[in-house]
Amino acid sequence: MAEVSRPELLVSIREAVRAYTARAVLYSQAIADQMGLNATDARCLDILSRKGPITAGQLAELTGLTSGAVTGVIDRLEKPGYVRRVRDAEDRRRVIIEPIPEHELPINASMEAGVRTLDELLEDYSDEQLAVIHDFLRRSVAMTERETVNAQERPAR
């Protein structure tokens, strides 16, 4: 097999990341459709199911959504019973958004098949390769968070 040059490999990786990102968005939309939610609401429910109870402000920070948009998301997730608003016991002015465990399951159940498939894929890699993949993904998330903020701050064209 012919050796691929570093520039060619970098181009190929960038294309693969773009293809993966596009597919991940479509997968996320399919999961949201199964649940009768829009993609943003489903992503917020996923964050809540992983993070546990957080404030609306924390959810806004994690998603990059405005406080008004997060209020709408919470309203829409509260209506079918996926989350509830609970007053903070220590600061009654603060409201905590809490996923309702029995209703958390649809997003987790919908994603289980994807998790199993991912586990099968990862079985092919050594521990050292998994460490590199983990490092890449962790750093990619941080980079994507920064780039999302930058994109939101740029004027619309």
Provide the pLDDT for residue 107.
64
Cα four-point dihedral sign 52, 58, 63, 69: positive
In a domain, 97, yes or no: yes
Average pLDDT of 1-22? 92
- How far apart CA 9 and CA 88 sit, in angstroms, is 51
| pTM of the predicted protein model | 0.76
- How far apart CA 81 and CA 104 sit, in angstroms, is 9
Exposure class string for 45-81: b at 16+ Cβ within 10 A, else e:
bbbbbeeeebebeebbebbebeeeebeebbebbeeee
pLDDT in tens, 12-58: 999 999 999 999 899 889 888 988 899 999 999 989 988 999 999 99
Residue 105 has pLDDT above 60, yes or no: no
Provide the pLDDT for residue 1.
60
Indicate the pLDDT class of residue 92, thresholds 50, 70 and 90.
confident
Helices and strands, number each (H, E), in the chain: 6, 3
- How far apart CA 117 and CA 27 sit, in angstroms, is 13
Task: Read off the DSSP letter of residue 123.
Answer: T
Indicate the pLDDT class of residue 103, thresholds 50, 70 and 90.
low
Provide the pLDDT for residue 145.
83
Domain count, the chain: 1
pLDDT in tens, 113-146: 788 899 999 999 999 999 999 999 999 999 988 8
The domain spanning residue 92 has which CATH number? 1.10.10.10
Print the domain residue range for 99.
Answer: 19-124
In a domain, 47, yes or no: yes
In a domain, 7, yes or no: no
Tell me if 64 sits within 8 A of 152, measured CB to CB: yes
- From the list 98, 136, 142, the residue with the least C-alpha distance to 13 is 136
Residue 96 has pLDDT above 70, yes or no: yes
In a domain, 77, yes or no: yes
